[in-house]
Amino acid sequence: ESVAITLTVNQPLITPSITSPATTCSSDAIRFTVGNAAGDTYRWTLNGGAVVATGINYDIAAGSLAAGNYILGVYGENGSCSSTLVTQTITITDPSTLTIDTGLTGDAVCEGETFTITVSDTQSSNTTYTLSYAGGPQVKNSSTGQVTFTLSLATKSDISVVSTPSGGCNSTVTKTINI
């Protein structure tokens, strides 16, 4: 006597790839994407733990992960089959800290008087600093972690400096200058 057995053979799953930068800033939102999505269900893991997201994309909100190294993983599922887990190490870094020293008593200056500010940065890589204020933007480069700007104001104003390092995270500092 013979018995008929029916087998269903599923198509092999495509091993997914992760499309994203390997380094990002803790202050930035970032999206990781399955680079070769094939219609499977994708599961994302962090540091080898439980599934943290399902879908083609995995979004990390700004400020949700502390600075450090993490192992991001993704695998596909279709029916009872799973693909190989693919991992990527990601490095999260914190932005540097900027300070503005006006050298002015009470951060106050007379209307139209010229003064110089010193911007100090906790990092010292090749960085572009952009000063924004009522007189227009000024841009300078420095690799020492310090830069100076000379300006004058007609009224009480906020001045802001944004640092853009060649490799790293942008930072911003704002200070009110009294007249």
Q: Give me the residues paired with residue 74 across strands.
A: 44, 86
Task: Describe the chain by its helix, strand, coil percentages, rounded to 5.
Answer: 0, 50, 45
Amino acid 167 reads: G
Residues 42-56: pLDDT tens digits?
A: 999 999 999 999 999
Mean pLDDT of 25-47: 87
Residue 115 or 12, more confident: 115
Residues 71-88: pLDDT tens digits?
A: 999 998 888 888 889 999
List of residues 6+ apart from 76 with CB closer than 8 A: 13, 14, 15, 16, 34, 38, 40, 41, 42, 43, 82, 83
Tally of residues, the chain: 179
- Residue 7: predicted pLDDT: 67
Spatial strand order of the sheet with 157-165 comes to 138-142, 127-132, 157-165, 171-177
Does the pLDDT of residue 19 top 90, yes or no? no
- Residue 9: predicted pLDDT: 64
Residue 37's nearest CA partner among 53, 57, 22, 11 is 57
Is the separation of the CB atoms in 24 and 32 below 8 Å?
no
Rounded to whole angstroms, the Cα distance separating 13 from 31 reads 23
Rounded to whole angstroms, the Cα distance separating 103 from 76 reads 59
Does the pLDDT of residue 5 top 70, yes or no? yes
Biggest alpha carbon distance in the chain? 106
- Residue 125: predicted pLDDT: 85
- Residue 80: predicted pLDDT: 81
Does the pLDDT of residue 138 top 90, yes or no? yes
- Residue 10: predicted pLDDT: 62
- Residue 104, CA atoms < 13 Å, CB-side half-sphere: 21
Residue 50 or 3, more confident: 50
DSSP 149: E
